[in-house]
Structure 1
Amino acid sequence: MILQYHDPMCGRFDQSQTARFYANVFGWADAVYDSESTPAYNVPPGTYRPLMHIQDGEHRIDDVFWSYRAKWAEGKLPISINARLDKLSNRYWSRLLKNGRAIVPADGWYEWTGEKGKKQPWHIHRKDRAPLFMLALANFGASTENRAEAGFVIVTDDAAEGMLDIHDRRPVVLDAASAALWLDPAISPEQALELARHAALPPDAFEWFKVRPEMNRSTTDRAQMALPMPE
């Protein structure tokens, strides 16, 4: 399957701990796992990664395909890896906002600056290096035509302050308590949107540094990807 992506912001992330580690930090000692993913420093779209969600009252961590396009949109819309926060109430995303709220646990994400051919990758993470809980929407049903029918996207919003130097958009990241509310099926889509708008961690909760250009290759996955580039 050839993936044609829309809105390439947050095109990679660092998920270098185990799913069980993230679940324990989140307070999900009772989580049910259907995940065979191993830790990865350089996660690209089009791969299956552990996602946290609640299904039939169970705390679940399942491997889900990073990319999404509704089945009815085949041939009409490109495949997405991100969803804009200000668009979540529209027809395309509203069903997932109601029934497909999820969390992508991670240690950071990557952005790029510079001109094509000379792109400089940056690793963005919490200043306290605590795990990130990035908002996501997913279709947890089965796919019939291609894998992106049963996939996930990361919710993004406008960047602000110093983060604009890296990219004009960023993932919506919550602390563990607010992320648990986002997952709670008892809150309405409208309440979930308000939570995402007002509980997102501010720019001063993050820091970033340059990483090695070899990070540009999506097949490269080593611990050095998440370390500052030597001067």
Structure 2
Amino acid sequence: MCGRFDQNDIARRYVAAFGWADAVYDSEARPTFNAAPGTYRPVLHLVDGKLHVDDLHWGYRASWAADKLPVSVNARIEKITNNYWGRLLKSGRAVVPANGWYEWTGAKGKRQPWHIHRKDGEPLFMLALASFAPLRDDDPAHKAESGFVLVTADAEGGMLDVHDRRPVVLNAADAATWLDPDLPREQAEMLARQMALEPDAFAWYRVSTEVNYAGRDGAHLAEALAEPPADEDTP
């Protein structure tokens, strides 16, 4: 987790659901039902107390690690205080709004995608770590130096049947606290651990394998498939 997410609404509606009256919008990304790593997606962050919405590359790698580490799309919550992620935890906390995310079950070649979302239909506010530093140049090899990763934690309860990891999702008020630059990073980590929405806040269903293809889009990708026969072994 997490390799795709559903971000099918416009940024202004996500900001409204976040509970803020206004924001600075520097986002041109279109809504999508199939956001994939390597694309630019709207993220929320605070600049001088003002909420900003910026398009950021999904995937991060520190400039010094270009020849040492792969580009990451997720950061495990167990490691966000280490030397690599700690700087972003201090000054690069962000939130990625979405309507759901996708996970896969089954053997290779027969992978079944699932759409996971809040039971109440409210948007997700997924915690992220980001670098907002300007790119050094226009070389695509450096675009991950200004990018974001989603913070993930162990899955629990019935969600384990779908995947062993999940993004850390907070309600709007706690997500706003996560963004506060005055919140010490130790307290930010504690907030993420203690206030993450529990598995019983979510529901999930099978969706079309068309979502497996990063270039595909459309509302049909997030629609539930008909229930399989009762003798099929599904979560």
- TM-score category of the 2 structures, normalised to the smaller one: over 0.9
The correspondence for 2:69, drawn from 68, 73, 77, is 77
In structure 1, what is the Cα distance between the partners aligned to 2:63 and 2:20? 32
Kindly state the Cα deviation for residue 30 of structure 1 after the two structures are TM-superposed.
Answer: 1.9
SS at match of 1:91: coil
In structure 2, what is the Cα distance between the partners aligned to 1:73 and 1:179? 29
Which aligned pairs between 1:47-66 and structure 2 lie closer than 5 A?
Answer: 47-66=39-58
In structure 2, what is the Cα distance between the partners aligned to 1:30 and 1:109? 26
The answer for the alignment partner of 1:229 in structure 2 is 225
2:151 corresponds to 1:155: yes
The correspondence for 1:120, drawn from 102, 107, 112, is 112
**Larger deviation, residues 140-149 vs 158-167:** 140-149
SS at match of 1:90: coil
The answer for the alignment partner of 1:181 in structure 2 is 177
In structure 2, what is the Cα distance between the partners aligned to 1:143 and 1:66? 14
Which aligned pairs between 1:66-215 and structure 2 lie closer than 5 A?
Answer: 66-144=58-136, 146-215=142-211
TM-score (normalised: structure 2): 0.93
Deviation digits for residues 43-76 of structure 1 (CA, Å, limit 9, x no counterpart): 0000000000001222100000000000001111
How many pairs were matched up? 223
In structure 2, what is the Cα distance between the partners aligned to 1:76 and 1:39? 34
Deviation digits for residues 94-146 of structure 1 (CA, Å, limit 9, x no counterpart): 00000000000000000000111111000000001100000000000012251
Q: Which runs of 5+ in 2 are unaligned?
A: 228-235
Q: Which runs of 5+ in 1 are unaligned?
A: 1-8
2:36 corresponds to 1:44: yes
SS at match of 1:30: coil
In structure 2, what is the Cα distance between the partners aligned to 1:30 and 1:115? 46
In structure 1, what is the Cα distance between the partners aligned to 2:22 and 2:161? 41
In structure 2, what is the Cα distance between the partners aligned to 1:172 and 1:188? 18
TM-score (normalised: structure 1): 0.95
SS at match of 1:148: helix
In structure 2, what is the Cα distance between the partners aligned to 1:129 and 1:27? 16
Could you say which structure has the larger radius of gyration?
2
Q: Name the Cα RMSD after superposition.
A: 0.8
Kindly state the Cα deviation for residue 230 of structure 1 after the two structures are TM-superposed.
Answer: 2.9
In structure 2, what is the Cα distance between the partners aligned to 1:95 and 1:66? 18
Runs of 4+ in 1 over 4 A off after TM superposition: none
SS at match of 1:80: coil
Kindly state the Cα deviation for residue 147 of structure 1 after the two structures are TM-superposed.
Answer: 0.4
In structure 2, what is the Cα distance between the partners aligned to 1:222 and 1:58? 32
